[in-house]
């Protein structure tokens, strides 16, 4: 490509990126692991729109949250309505429950979702403006055991994809009964050190001082360490919920750390909050988190239905996971002439019906050139179809990994590939 062509080429938008085929295989493996584990726990997939009315997130996520005030991709559509690209998932699930009256169905209200979110934020390690999350939501379960079960499920998923050095941080952020008194005490404490806070946190002193705990600036963090802790303000119901929650974590033999300043970045949380953080990953070390939101459905105009959930960032999860993609195995067809090409098309169709991935390329090549091409693209098998093979009614098969050659009918060769691939995958899974 010339310099002029490069200057004219259109690049991806800042904060977005292409996930190319080799990396996409890793994404597929993590997503497949997540689906299997979520469904082991009774979750079912729910797919909501990427675009929603802006007021859904202003009401659900919280008007004072950084997401709403700074990060949402909001615009006016051609009908004159303000719409927003989804910055998080929970408000969409709550809307879907109310809109479709899912609470009246006999199935458990356990949902999961895998997909993109959008926040106009400074791109950083593992976080993009279009990023992807694994989300789970449970509604109608007040028992703190479900909070612990979600964390145990997340821990199982992290183990399945080879994440090490995970710390579970937990806290309670109270409820509408006990939080007002804490909010007032926090506001008074923040006002005393207001001149030490950044301009953004100075604004939060009156709007929502709880958000000051989210600030990553050292001056604000130092000031926040002098604030009163919510644990001293919890009502008896919240205190008992948190106590039982910890008992269930102990039951699962999960190690955790109580972090009194853990408030998460969203306004709707009540009682339980938690984060999953990874060692040696810098300041942005959280790969997932969640908590309880017992009043959200009711505040949206729906039934009095409590909720709790978890979100895991896929980009960050992949950065710390030890999962490795098993190389894709497929058969490449080396054919010469029009008759051999047609026979290859039919042979590949038969192989595919047997579950064998196949690749045909239609550029005319010599046999030597076909094998050179097969080596370059790391084909596992090469099926040779030429005039001699057509005349004999038997085809040749080259095992490129073991340098072995076979001859036989399509049915015989298909059986050889299936048996050898089964043995190979079994051996790889044991490594």
Q: What is the mean pLDDT of residues 63-68?
A: 62
Encode pLDDT of 147-189 as tens digits.
Answer: 999 999 999 999 999 999 999 999 999 999 998 898 889 889 9
Burial class (CB in 10 A: 0-12, 13-18, 19+), 304: exposed
| Closest residue by Cα to residue 291 from 151, 121, 116 | 151
Which span out of 54-58, 61-65, 123-127 was modeled with the highest average pLDDT? 54-58
The answer to whether 12-178+234-320 and 331-430 have equal CATH topology is no
Between 23-27, 50-54, 199-203, 212-216, the lowest mean confidence (pLDDT) is in 212-216
Task: Write down the CATH superfamily of domain 331-430.
Answer: Anticodon-binding domain (3.40.50.800)
| Closest residue by Cα to residue 37 from 127, 128, 155 | 155
CA distance 367 to 124: 49
* pLDDT over 90 percentage in the chain: 66
pLDDT score for 186: 87
CA distance 391 to 387: 6
User: Considering the domain 12-178+234-320 in this protein, what is its CATH number?
Assistant: 3.30.930.10
Q: Predicted confidence band at 266 (pLDDT cuts at 50, 70, 90)?
A: low
For residue 197, give both structure tokens. Answer: 């806070």
Given strand 358-359, what is the order of strands in its sheet? 358-359, 331-335, 381-385, 395-399, 404-408
pLDDT(3) > 90 = no
| Closest residue by Cα to residue 23 from 428, 321, 375 | 321
Q: What's the predicted TM-score (pTM) here?
A: 0.86
Encode pLDDT of 9-53 as tens digits.
Answer: 889 988 899 999 989 999 999 999 999 999 999 999 999 999 999
Torsion of Cα atoms, 321 then 322 then 327 then 328, to 10°: -30
Q: In the chain, what are the domain boundaries?
A: 12-178+234-320, 331-430
Q: What is the mean pLDDT of residues 383-401?
A: 93
CA distance 274 to 256: 10
pLDDT score for 261: 84
Q: What is the mean pLDDT of residues 258-275?
A: 84
């Amino acid at each position: 490509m010339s310099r002029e062509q490069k200057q004219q080429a259109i690049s991806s938008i800042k904060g977005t990126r292409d996930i190319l085929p080799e990396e996409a295989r890793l994404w597929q493996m993590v997503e497949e692991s997540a689906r299997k584990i979520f469904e082991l726990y009774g979750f079912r997939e729910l797919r909501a729109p990427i675009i929603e009315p802006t007021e859904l997130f202003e009401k659900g996520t919280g008007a004072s949250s950084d997401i709403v005030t700074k990060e949402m991709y909001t615009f006016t559509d051609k009908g004159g309505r303000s719409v927003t690209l989804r910055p998080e998932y929970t408000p969409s699930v709550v809307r879907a429950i109310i809109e479709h009256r899912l609470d009246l169905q006999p199935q458990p209200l356990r949902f999961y979702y895998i997909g993109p979110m959008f926040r106009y934020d400074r791109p950083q390690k593992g976080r993009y403006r279009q990023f992807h999350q694994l989300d789970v939501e449970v509604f109608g379960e007040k028992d703190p055991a479900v909070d612990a079960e979600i964390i145990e499920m997340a821990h199982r998923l992290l183990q399945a994809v080879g994440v090490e050095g995970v710390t579970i941080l937990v806290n309670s952020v109270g409820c509408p009964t006990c939080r007002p008194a804490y909010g007032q005490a926090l506001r008074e404490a923040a006002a005393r050190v207001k001149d030490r806070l950044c301009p953004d946190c100075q604004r939060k002193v009156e709007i929502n001082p709880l958000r000051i705990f989210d600030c990553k600036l050292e001056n604000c963090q130092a000031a926040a360490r002098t604030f009163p802790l919510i644990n001293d303000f919890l009502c008896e119901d919240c205190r008992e919920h948190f106590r039982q929650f910890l008992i269930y974590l102990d039951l699962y033999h999960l190690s955790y750390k109580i972090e009194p300043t853990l408030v998460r970045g969203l306004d709707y949380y009540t009682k339980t909050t938690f984060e999953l953080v990874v060692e040696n990953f810098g300041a942005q070390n959280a790969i997932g988190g969640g908590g309880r939101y017992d009043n959200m459905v009711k505040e949206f105009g729906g039934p009095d239905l409590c909720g709790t959930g978890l979100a895991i960032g896929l980009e960050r999860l992949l950065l710390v996971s030890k999962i490795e993609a098993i190389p894709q195995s497929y058969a490449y067809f080396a054919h010469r002439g029009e008759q051999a090409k047609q026979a290859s098309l039919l042979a590949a169709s038969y192989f595919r019906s047997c579950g064998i991935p196949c690749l045909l390329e239609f550029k005319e090549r010599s046999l030597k050139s076909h094998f050179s091409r097969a080596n370059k693209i790391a084909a596992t098998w090469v099926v040779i179809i030429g005039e001699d093979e057509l005349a004999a009614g038997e085809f040749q098969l080259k095992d490129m990994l073991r340098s072995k050659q076979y001859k036989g009918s399509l049915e015989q060769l298909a059986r050889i590939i299936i048996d050898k691939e089964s043995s190979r995958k079994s051996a790889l899974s044991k490594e």
